Amino acid sequence: MDAREVLARVRDARGLTAAEADWFARGLASGEVTDAQAGAFAMAIRLNGLDAPGRVALTRAMRDSGQVLQWDMPGPVVDKHSTGGLGDSVSLLLAPALAACGCYVPMISGRGLGHTGGTLDKLEAIPGYRTDVSVAELHKLVRDSRCAIVGASADIAPADRRLYAIRDVTASVESIDLITASILSKKLAAGLEALVLDVKVGSGAFMKTLDQARALAQALVDTAQGAGCMTTALITDMNQPLGCSAGNALEVLEAMETLTGSAVNQALWDLTAALGGEALALAGLAADAEDGAQKIDDALETGRAAEIFGEMVAALGGPMDFVERFPDRLPAAPVMREVRAAGTGFVAGVDAEALGMAVVRLGGGG
């Protein structure tokens, strides 16, 4: 088999077999597949698409192009993924809340993309917090603290890392097949038993319409299930920021206020509970999503989630007293200005994408 055979099949919309996907993914990871061939592959899929078996084959192949984590924990290994939004710091609440409910959460997260914020960028606003850890250290962190929010190592889905860069420079990013394989190859390489997906829709999301969001959500769920991971998805509104703040340190501050109960963002809390409820039901730790959401509520209300978050921060190099003194530990902007409305009235709408780009231009991007 060589690249030309695979490219011809995808070019002619004749599908992608598991053997072809495995060969191409290994070639992407090893360098045997050239940049020109990778670009042609991405564009052919962008134009012709893949059927469901081809999408599963590509996802599995990219997952298996590197290390796939194995776990031996006394509870289910679960995670969550969001397609990206503004003011969305759910991961900071959800990972420790799931851990407090009996899950083990190796949350491999990403950086900001375009106008959307990245979980790793937010956490690095915490002084000393390390997002780059080895696989061995990740195992220890998850075993000891039940959750760890870190970045993907170079050994996780290397085929995706190569193809993602190619897609970015060949105008082939906007493909549901390639988006699905990219997201899931990294998540499934974490060795998950269950995954909950937060697919955003609206002005601050990559999927602007409900039809687009539904198509992506269905593709993600079907492909993950086809690859052997119990998965569900919620489609959630991103026509305005989820939080009252936007920017890395500010979003951590708001998440901590909600975690500790000092100033609760109800929308952030409610979405955390909804996603967590789905995850607990999938993992067999709740009778259904409603029961699971109540368990997440309890983990947040009792402070158990905040305690676990503090343990994770300390284990990853952050301040030992972060939960108790987070307002003092987070950096503040050197210049703050109040902007007053020109007149009285109500906010009728927010262009979340424009607001996100303003944050990026102010230095709040990845």
* Residues annotated as part of the active site: 79-82, 119, 167, 182, 186-187
The phi, psi pair for 90, rounded to 5°, reads -55, -40
What tokens were used for 108?
């491999």
| Half-sphere exposure at residue 225, Cβ-oriented, CA atoms within 13 angstroms | 12
User: Where are any strands of DSSP class E within 72-146?
Assistant: 78-82, 105-109
Tell me how far CA of residue 228 lies from CA of 139, 192, 216, 285, 286, in angstroms.
22, 9, 18, 19, 21
> Which residue, chain included where needed, has tokens 């990740």?
138
d(CA 34, CA 83): 29
Check the CA dihedral 317-321-324-330 and report its sign: negative
Spatial neighbors of 345 by CB under 8 A, at least 6 apart, are none
> Which residue, chain included where needed, has tokens 């402070």?
303
